[in-house]
Amino acid sequence: MKKVLLATSALFLTAGVASAELTFSGTAGAGVIKSGDVRTGSTPDTAGKYQVYSGIDINVTASATADNGMVVTATTDIGGGALADVADKEINDQGNTLDAVGFTAAYNGVTVALKSDGQDDLYDDDQNGDVKVSGSMGGLNYAIVSDTNDSEYSYSLGFAAGDVSITAVGTSANDAGDAAMKVSAAYTMGDLTATLTSDNKGADAALNTVAVAYKSGALSLTASATNGKVDGKAEYDLGVSYVAGAATVSLSTDESSAWEADVAYDLGGGVSAVIAGDHNNTILAGMSFAF
């Protein structure tokens, strides 16, 4: 009897492994960075000094499909060392540990995702929730994120019809604890896309933004302006990107002349090199590859 039970258990486990899929992907890289000065956020022991960084980030995904077509997925993250964040001109510690596991179930166009403090607030990325439900029906898409600990939530609702798209995003509690919502409308005219956004900011003054994006061949241009002010100056952002063969050059600035410049070069085979700098006297040079 014991032998039969063991044989049955082994058969069950073997069948389970055979029906599931396990995949790995990630990024590895290394380079050197000189941080900006202390006044712009650097710590006294690293300001103005060159540092060598190297690291790896491995994403692990296990998935299976039930008989009714439901797809269930578990994901985690393994990392070590540090990798460059070119957009923010900094290096990010990869933790040297196994990240918390996220779990999703997708069925009939609806996806439920579970991860403690692992779901971005749809209104503010600085906040997190635990449960996310999302889906789409025709041109309509929706999502809601719930923080089960504080009974707070955020939501998004979008609709697209031809060249026009409208999106509403809100939260029951922003950083100040107030309910807030922003509505955006975008219209695409060939190579040009114009977007209008109104954010009521909860109890703060409303912020209205107009943005345009233009892409033609190798050239991309972006510009945005708001009714807000930064240090008494009208708030705006400008950006330009140009692709020349394997190289991509990007420049951006704003009302405070907070410029950034990036040069990325595709070496093929998933390998790329980058040199970047900004107004904070930060210099970054490195190489990375995806797998």
SS (H, E, C) 186-207: EEEECCEEEEEEEECCCCCCCE
Residue 169 burial class via C-beta count within 10 angstroms: exposed 0-12, middle 13-18, buried 19 and up: buried
The structure tokens 């997708």 sit at 106
- Looking at the predicted structure, is the pLDDT value of residue 181 above 50? yes
CA distances from 86 to 10, 59, 275 (A): 48, 20, 9
* pLDDT at 2 > cutoff 80: no
The answer to whether residue 230 scores a pLDDT higher than 50 is: yes
Residue 47's pLDDT is 65
> d(Cα 46, Cα 40) in Å, to the nearest integer?
12
Please name the residues in contact with 162: beta carbons below 8 A apart, sequence gap of 6 or more: none
At 11, the pLDDT band (50, 70, 90 cuts) reads very low
Report the percent of the chain where pLDDT is more than 70.
89
Which of 5-9, 56-60, 202-206, 286-290 is predicted least confidently? 5-9
Distance separating alpha carbons of residues 62 and 91, to the nearest angstrom: 28
Which bin fits 158, alpha (ψ -120 to 50), beta or left (φ > 0)?
beta
Q: Supply φ then ψ for residue 4, to 5 degrees.
A: -65, -45
Which tokens sit at 237? 């952002």
DSSP assignment of 142-164, as one string?
Answer: EEEEEETTTTEEEEEEEEEETTE
DSSP states of 82-118 as a string? EEEETTTTEEEE-TTSBPPPEEEEEETTEEEEEEEEE
| Residue 250: per-residue pLDDT | 98
Confidence of residue 37 (pLDDT cuts 50, 70, 90): low
Q: What is the CA radius of gyration of the chain?
A: 23
Amino acid present at 203: A
Cβ atoms within 10 Å of 2's Cβ, excluding its own: 6
Query: 119: burial class by Cβ within 10 Å (0-12, 13-18, 19+)?
Result: buried
Q: pLDDT tens digits for 64-82?
A: 999 999 999 999 999 999 9
pTM (2 d.p.): 0.78
By CB atoms closer than 10 A (0-12, 13-18, 19+), residue 243 is middle
Q: Provide mean pLDDT across the span 9-30.
A: 70
Q: Which residues contact 67 (CB under 8 A, 6 or more apart)?
A: none
pLDDT tens digits for range 145-168: 999 988 899 999 999 999 999 999
pLDDT digits (tens, 9 = 90+) for 235-268: 999 999 999 999 999 999 999 999 999 999 999 9
Length of the chain: 291
Beta strands 260-268 and 247-254, pairing class: antiparallel
